[in-house]
Copies of this chain bind each other. A is one copy, B any other.
């Protein structure tokens, strides 16, 4: 059972605790996700060199791994950092960007998952489906499947890797393999800005850093991001202005507004 009240409490805690979120993420979204994390109340740091990631994760409160512009050396760093995070008991969030589109991405996502260190996976349906080793096809980073498919896929992957799985789309699905939560917040302009999926993943990192019920933290982070999108879309009708207002709203929204607007359904 996840509620708007949970979202309110977690957002309050992010702003009070200012968790340090260590991101090993893609070049395209580094700036935007760092600004989103700051706006949210967290403290972002980006570091990817294999000879510093362990130390950096060592002072962090959550680790976010994103394979959006993968390089071979980074895979090694991700695995080192995930190991450190797992040992110290902080959440590790994986965004398998483009899994299904190339073998490198699919195999890397699975390789990271097989370390057994991942707490939460967030992707679109086709990316998450690719983790099942099916013959999923991804066209770039667009989602290709229905909500019903998404629930089935999310449950399968959550079971397979003993992790929380979030499939985002017009309706977001979050599951631990048993409990299923739908988040109905969001706006179609979010799909017109690059890296909004990656930003959702980073925010899951911030929320999970302050609440170790990762199913709840994930659903609440997605509600928060979706509500910010809805509010931003009231002030901006095109994607350039929208992406700026989205950062503004992530910063401006109060915990009680979040509680009021969060549209979380416990299936």
Contacts and interface: CB of A to CB of B under 8 A. Distances in A.
Interface centre among A55, A98, A247 (most CB of B within 10 A): A247
Nearest to A141: B45
Interface string A23-35: 0001111111011
Contact of A38 (B34, B38, B239): B239
A116 to B, nearest CB: 25
Given A44-B194, A70-B49, A104-B52, A238 B248 contact: yes
A238 B243 contact: no
Contact of A44 (B46, B140, B246): B140
B52 A102 contact: yes
Please state the number of chain copies in the assembly.
3
Nearest to A28: B30
Interface in A200-245: 237-241, 243-245
Nearest to A251: B238
Contact of A238 (B68, B194, B252): B252
